[in-house]
Amino acid sequence: MKYIIYGAPGCSFCSKAKILLEMHRLEYVYKEVGTELSKEQLEQVLGRKVTTVPQIVKMADGFGEYIGGFTELQNSLN
């Protein structure tokens, strides 16, 4: 199981999401919106409008489960 964090530079909740996953010893990949993919590309990947980062997806067996932002990630791990 691996997580994908779509984030942006200077985003405190993106940093918190990375720290939280590291504390739980869970693997993740960080993708920077604006550098590695555009906001429009991210919206296509997620199939939804994006207004904030991070946007977090949990990958398992080749399928992605949309988690949401930092708060939703935190709730899903409790």
pLDDT for the residue numbered 61: 87
Q: What is the pLDDT of residue 13?
A: 98
Q: What is the full per-residue pLDDT of the chain (78 aa) written as tens digits? A: 799 999 999 999 999 999 999 999 999 999 999 999 999 999 999 999 999 999 999 998 889 999 999 999 999 998
**Neighbouring-strand partners of residue 56:** 5, 68
Domains of the chain, by residue range, sit at 2-77
58: alpha, beta or left, given left = phi > 0 and alpha = psi -120 to 50? beta
Record the tokens describing residue 76, joined without a space: 């899903």
> How, if at all, do strands 55-60 and 63-68 pair?
antiparallel
Model confidence, pTM: 0.94
Q: Which CATH class is domain 2-77?
A: alpha beta
Residue that is written with structure tokens 């930092």 in the block: 70
